[in-house]
Amino acid sequence: MRSGMVVAALIFSIALQSAASAETPSSYEGRLLFNSYCLLCHGPDGKGGGPLARKMEVEPADLTRTIRTRSDVALKKIISGEGRQFISGRDRHNIISDAMPEWKDVFSDEEIASLIAYLRFLNASKHPLMADPEKGHELYQKYCRACHGLDGEGDGVMTSLIDIEPMDHTNSLSMNEISNLEMIRVIKNGKGDYMPGWKDIISDEDVKALVSYIRLLSH
């Protein structure tokens, strides 16, 4: 009877994590959207040097600078094309450029929020992505989720079974203080009594991919 209650509690915990994931803007999802729709003009680093921009002879905004001075509300208006031009007050989309498409019929509100989260990452993160975060996402769900949780908040199902407090990978302040090299070391060699070392299970390149995904969790 007791074991059945434990199993039911774990299933309920996983369901809550899945629901929370659907509501949380993810810079990981935002990166996927950016690479599909924005990179051609704004470039892989968001600074405006994309290959399509050069063909069109336009100068897209440096998003790493634009992001610093605008709120999420303003950015949503720019991306969707539903905002007023700030200077003239006319209903136009070209707050940044006439060549900027209107995405209101392409992106959902949740997708725009995720895209903004990724733009915030491009501006705020001290640490570059080292490898493919998509591969890192797969590895995180396979090896890290049980303790660190579905979204990296340190609330995995193992915390219901043993007295552990895994690191919250969504905390941008604390995560920004940890270098990529230090994170690699901890993943490979472990830390403390409960964080295992994965060097005999995960390849060096996959560890870099995992670090890259974790970086996106903190924005």
Residue 152 neighbours by CB under 8 Å, 6+ apart: 140, 144, 168, 169, 170, 214, 217, 218
- Superfamily of domain 130-217, CATH level 4: Cytochrome c-like domain (1.10.760.10)
Q: Is the pLDDT of residue 137 over 80?
A: yes
Neighbours of 105 (CB within 10 A): 7
Contact 169, 217 (CB under 8 A): yes
Q: Is there a common fold for 27-124 and 130-217?
A: yes
Q: Confidence class of residue 65 from pLDDT cuts 50, 70 and 90?
A: confident
Percent of the chain with pLDDT over 90: 57
CA dihedral 157, 158, 164, 167 (to 10 degrees): -60
> What is the pLDDT, as a whole number, of residue 213?
97
Q: What is the mean pLDDT of residues 151-165?
A: 92
Q: Is the pLDDT of residue 150 over 50?
A: yes
Q: Is the entire prediction scored with pTM above 0.85?
A: no
Q: What is the mean pLDDT of residues 81-98?
A: 53
> What is the pLDDT, as a whole number, of residue 123?
87
Q: Does 27-124 carry CATH code 1.10.760.10?
A: yes
Helix, strand, coil abundance in the chain, percent, nearest 5: 55, 0, 45
Q: Is the pLDDT of residue 165 over 80?
A: yes
CA dihedral 147, 185, 28, 15 (to 10 degrees): 0
Q: Where are the alpha helices (DSSP H) in the chain?
A: 2-23, 27-33, 39-42, 51-56, 63-66, 72-80, 109-124, 133-139, 145-148, 172-176, 180-189, 204-217
> What is the pLDDT, as a whole number, of residue 14?
41
Annotated domain spans of the chain: 27-124, 130-217
Q: Is the pLDDT of residue 85 over 80?
A: no
> What is the pLDDT, as a whole number, of residue 9?
41
- The mean pLDDT value of the chain amounts to 83
* pLDDT tens sequence across 15-61: 444 444 444 558 999 999 999 999 999 999 999 888 888 787 778 88
Neighbours of 131 (CB within 10 A): 17
Encoded amino acid at 183, one letter: M
